[in-house]
Amino acid sequence: MAREVTLRPASMGDLDTVTEYSRAVKWPHRSEDIALMMSLGSGVVAIDVETSRKAGVGYLWPQNELAATLGLVIVDPACQGGGVGRVIMSALFDKAGSRGISLIATAAGRPLYQKLGFEETGFIVQQQGDCTREARFAPGVRKAQAEDFDQIVSLDAGACGVERRALLSALSDAGEIVVLERDSALTGYAVRRRFGRGAVIGPIAAVSEADGIVLIEALQMPGFIRVDRMGNATEIGAFLDSVGMTSVDEPVAMQRGDRPSPKGPAKVLALSSQALG
């Protein structure tokens, strides 16, 4: 039965609700993880007309005038099946305007996204586990300094096709960045930050998977670590397997509309999160 809802802008006042929703669908996010994502995007909250209770939420993260990512789309379990998700998505499409939209789809969400015009473009492999290894810095790998930031932003923009300065600034504040330097130029970077049950390493961008592996090694530490790698980054996958970080999920990458093409030479090897890209 269709559920009638109204929409309003989301705010940080909705943090507890979004955190509660994420726990209901068994996502590992801490409240702090969700707050970071909410601070970078623009969201909507659906309100059930009959009960005046919140029924769902969704967020959009514009990257530039051409591209955006979409995520944190969660419908209250008590309101699922009533078309709330479709209403939220329509509002997020309005926010996106003419931008192409990228998202990572769970198995539950994929049928709706396909009906709304999204097409599969690949997949992501979520690998995680308890790491017992200490950080190892290969030649050319070092901790990032403040003066590296503009080069990191430029390298990342070439790898993913859009500039993500605000995202990288927030990740830098929340965690630690290492870079790979060759011939006085940065050729790769990776970020580690606190997330969920332990830490997440990502995004990772580098010219090769071998370079991506040495960046991961510089950020590894004893404890629970997660990496959301690109599905075709199989060398990184084999390395993660070898250190006990097994595959637990393979969600699908989807796209609606066009997205600027990467200009290289670095490529994105792992995501910062499945919502933010």
Q: Which domains does the chain have, with CATH numbers?
A: 5-98 (3.40.630.30), 126-270 (3.40.630.90)
For residue 4, give both structure tokens. 């009638």
Please state the φ and ψ torsions of residue 141, each to the nearest 5 degrees: -95, 135
pLDDT computed for residue 79 by the predictor: 84
Q: What is the pLDDT of residue 1?
A: 61
Kindly give the parts of the chain with pLDDT less than 50: none
Q: Who contacts 53 (Cβ-Cβ below 8 Å, separation ≥6)?
A: 47, 76
Query: Do residues 45 and 79 lie in contact, with contact meaning Cβ atoms separated by under 8 Å?
Result: no
- Looking at residue 82, what is its pLDDT? 86
180-210 in b/e form (b: 16+ CB < 10 A) is bbeeeebbbbbbbbebeebbbbbbbbbbebe
With both helix axes pointing from N to C terminus, report the angle between 31-40 and 15-24 in degrees, rounded to the nearest 10.
120
* pLDDT value at residue 108: 80
Tell whether pTM > 0.85: yes
Q: What is the pLDDT of residues 11-47, one digit of tens each?
A: 999 999 999 989 988 899 999 999 999 999 999 999 9
